[in-house]
Chains A and B, each alone.
Chain A
Amino acid sequence: AQTVTQSQPEMSVQEAETVTLSCTYDTSENNYYLFWYKQPPSRQMILVIRQEAYKQQNATENRFSVNFQKAAKSFSLKISDSQLGDTAMYFCAFMTYTGGFKTIFGAGTRLFVKA
């Protein structure tokens, strides 16, 4: 079975500092997509960053970057220069071509950015 594990239920970081959220997944597939979604208190789910498994280069999006380790099946999210608006639940997600392109979400990590 394909699973996504986020081992940190909650994390906190001081404003302007850097924080890394961890995510591991389990699959026998070779081609797949990985995502990080953000859900602020407003409840709106927003895509933060996306990584194709066939790409070796780590995806970056402004202050957000990932460390994708395919062999280790690890996909961590680094947030640099944390801002108060980064306070949210962060979900790691995984999608394969098989299984009907179903997206599987991790349990989420609640991040608090402190002033």
Chain B
Amino acid sequence: DTAVSQTPKYLVTQMGNDKSIKCEQNLGHDTMYWYKQDSKKFLKIMFSYNNKELIINETVPNRFSPKSPDKAHLNLHINSLELGDSAVYFCASSQDRLGEQYFGPGTRLTVT
């Protein structure tokens, strides 16, 4: 069984559209994260939730809105997509805020 899953794995869309990426973990972890990996492979934290509470909110445009309906899910909604949003987005989870992170397979978002 996949520990951290993301859907979709690939997403191609046009500028101005709104899209969502879903993430689910079946590890019983308390903390979940969203990262963005750009074309140069640089990985940067966007958001982190602990027990459904937002604890990290990096300098990310407010077009990006995370939603955590429960501990096992952390979805990422993006409004008014721009070309610069093209990247691979990784979801991750950890037992707690100090734990090692388990990553999902990533979602490659391409904005045309």
Write the nearest CB–CB distance from B3 to chain A, whole angstroms.
11
How many of chain A's residues have a CB under 8 angstroms from any CB in B? Answer: 23
Which chain A residue has the least Cβ–Cβ distance from B105?
A44
CB-CB under 8 A for A107 and B101, given A43-B88, A101-B55: no
- Interface code B77-111, partner A: CB below 8 Å = 1, 0 otherwise? 00000000000101010000110111101100000
Which A residues are within 8 Å of any B CB, using their own CB?
Answer: 33, 35, 37, 39, 42-47, 50, 89, 91, 95, 97, 100-105, 107-108
- Ranked 8 nearest A-B pairs via Cβ: A45-B103, A101-B97, A105-B43, A100-B56, A47-B100, A43-B106, A108-B41, A100-B55
Whether B56 pairs with A107 at a CB distance below 8 angstroms is no
**Contacting residues, chain B, for A105 (C-beta < 8 A):** 42-44
Whether A43 pairs with B42 at a CB distance below 8 angstroms is no
Q: Does B76 contact A (CB under 8 A)?
A: no
Interface residues on B, range: 20 to 34
By DSSP majority rule, is chain A's interface helix, strand, loop, or mixed? strand
Whether A45 pairs with B98 at a CB distance below 8 angstroms is no
Q: Does B15 contact A (CB under 8 A)?
A: no
Q: Does B11 contact A (CB under 8 A)?
A: no
